[in-house]
Structure 1
Amino acid sequence: MANVYELLPEIVGEEQIYIGSIIKNMDDQKAMQFANIYRARRKDPQMILLLTLVGFLGIAGIQRFITDQIGMGILYLLTAGLCWIGTIIDLINYKRIAFEYNQKEANQITAMLRNS
């Protein structure tokens, strides 16, 4: 039985609980494989925060492009972050944006490992 604390010590909080629930039923080899792929694909919330702050310098929406929300990224880029209101909201919700992206990636990785 794999331990999330040993495999992915860099994750914390809600993300740690979610990943722990995913890998609890995996054998050690699958859990290690999951952790390696997940570590390469996950987005750090601090990076999302920094990219959101760049939105105030005139390049709004980078955080949305990075998290595969291309439509919102284009909208933010063309509207200056929805007149900075969207950028301010993203500053408040940067952890949620990162968690939702990481959750989607974890589910894709789990499905991929199940099929292999």
Structure 2
Amino acid sequence: MFDSQFMALPGITPQEYSYLQTATNGLSEQQLRTFLMIYSGKRKNPSDMLLFCIIGLFLLPGLQRFIIGQIGMGILYLFTIGLCFIGSIVDIINHKELAFEHNQRMVFESLQMVRMGNFQ
């Protein structure tokens, strides 16, 4: 019903689009607008995640993990030089999955905020 608003999110994948449709089913138009406002500030674009992974490989190991809130893994990558570069290379290959998993958590958090009314 309000699906076209999801298409305004930069770099949205079909998988994320489908997940958002399912997760926001039953929200009113005002709740959906509030959800999109909150979610768009928290989500990570897969293209940006690829950039963070490349920077993590060459300049600052673990950057991509710090960005998505996995502080422990970020510290591990930092001290092991991206798990001897292997972990950083795997993250480059799986950058879309990293972004999607992070975005799933942000959908849940954003929905909780909208449903509880704690969005100010």
Task: State the TM bucket, normalised to the shorter chain.
Answer: over 0.9
The equivalent of 1:21 in structure 2 is 22
Do 1:52 and 1:90's aligned partners in 2 also have CA atoms closer than 8 Å? yes
The runs of 5 or more residues in structure 2 that have no matched partner are none
For residues 14-69 of structure 1, the C-alpha deviation after alignment (integer angstroms, 9 at most, x for no partner) is 11100111112111110111011111111111111111111232411100000000
1:8 to partner: Cα distance:
2.0
TM-score (norm 1): 0.92
For residues 76-97 of structure 1, the C-alpha deviation after alignment (integer angstroms, 9 at most, x for no partner) is 0111100000011101111111
Does the residue aligned with 2:26 lie in a helix, a strand or coil?
coil
The match for 1:7 among 5, 16, 35 is: 5
TM-score (norm 2): 0.89
Deviating beyond 4 angstroms after TM superposition, the runs of 4 or more aligned structure 1 residues are: none
The equivalent of 2:105 in structure 1 is 104
The equivalent of 1:66 in structure 2 is 67
Does residue 33 of structure 1 match 2:34?
yes
Do 2:64 and 2:74's aligned partners in 1 also have CA atoms closer than 8 Å? yes
% identity of equivalent residues: 39
Do 2:57 and 2:89's aligned partners in 1 also have CA atoms closer than 8 Å? no
One-letter amino acid matched to 1:61: G
Does residue 45 of structure 1 match 2:46?
yes
The runs of 5 or more residues in structure 1 that have no matched partner are none
Aligned CA RMSD, in angstroms, stands at 1.1
